[in-house]
Structure 1
Amino acid sequence: MSLDKLAVELEETARQTAEMIDKINDSLGILMNNSLGCQEARSTAVQEMVIALQAQDRIQQRCDNIAKAARLMAKVVDEISEKIDDKDVWSNLTLDELRKPNLSGIAGRAKHDDIELF
């Protein structure tokens, strides 16, 4: 899972959470509606709450999976960092100015000799 996908999944989880809250809010509105009979209001509100509770379970599963994916991504980054030291990356290059730390960045200040033709 790339970081972009992780961001999309977090945004979707936030959207689903807002939708769940809307269902709970709707159920409260139904209970407060004086034009509905008590039994009808309770029955309708309970249906809305059950839907909201089902959404909570789905959101919990999403959050658990996103957390697992983030931990796996962090582990991969840590393993790569341990295996590839910054010095190893630069030491494998062929250009001395890049490969040797004591020569890094001196090309602009160094005296230039005659051009050698190969």
Structure 2
Amino acid sequence: MSLHRLARELDETARQSAAMVEGFTEALDILSDGKLNKDPSVRDAIMMIITALQGQDRIEQRCHNMALATRQFALLPTAAPESVYDEIWSSLSLDELRVSSMSGIAALQNHGDAELF
């Protein structure tokens, strides 16, 4: 698979995960109805959905960042030094991709309270 195709597939994965959010948003609209959201279990369900939406947003951001890096890698000559690849990684916007010591550990970190973007 070429790097350009890999980048397209990452963008498509991001697009598909974003499309999935529409159903969750509709469910939140229903659950946040004034009559329903007085029930603590409904409020808990709302918070669970919001947390899941934050996870989807993170996945979408990661896919777009990796697609960008992949496109930049594709432009490099085959003999490019490792430092050039490191510079591309360090230019990304998500710390878990940009900072090499954080690579692959996002799932192990506490992301704080749930909030809508």
Calculate the TM-score normalised by the size of structure 1: 0.53
- 1:10 maps to 11
- 1:34 maps to 35
On the 8 A contact 2:6/2:70 being kept in 1, the answer is no
On the 8 A contact 2:13/2:63 being kept in 1, the answer is no
- The amino acid across from 1:13 in the alignment is A
List alignment gaps of at least 5 residues for structure 1. 80-118
List alignment gaps of at least 5 residues for structure 2. 81-117
- 1:65 maps to 66
- The amino acid across from 2:60 in the alignment is I
On the 8 A contact 1:9/1:66 being kept in 2, the answer is yes
Q: Percent identity?
A: 8
Matched, 1:47 2:48: yes
Q: 1:49 Cα deviation (Å)? A: 0.5
- 1:23 maps to 24
Using CA pairs under 8 Å that are at least 6 residues apart, name the structure with larger relative contact order, 1 or 2. 2
Q: 1:63 Cα deviation (Å)? A: 1.3
- The amino acid across from 1:27 in the alignment is L
Runs of 4+ in 1 over 3 A off after TM superposition: 33-38
Calculate the TM-score normalised by the size of structure 2: 0.54
Q: CA RMSD in A?
A: 2.6
CA deviation digits over 1:6-52, x for unaligned, max 9?
A: 22221111001122343233222211273564322211111100011
Q: State the SS of the aligned residue for 1:17.
A: helix
CA 1:7 to 1:32, structure 2 compared with 1: closer, same or farther past 3 Å? same
CA 1:27 to 1:76, structure 2 compared with 1: closer, same or farther past 3 Å? farther
- The amino acid across from 2:24 in the alignment is K
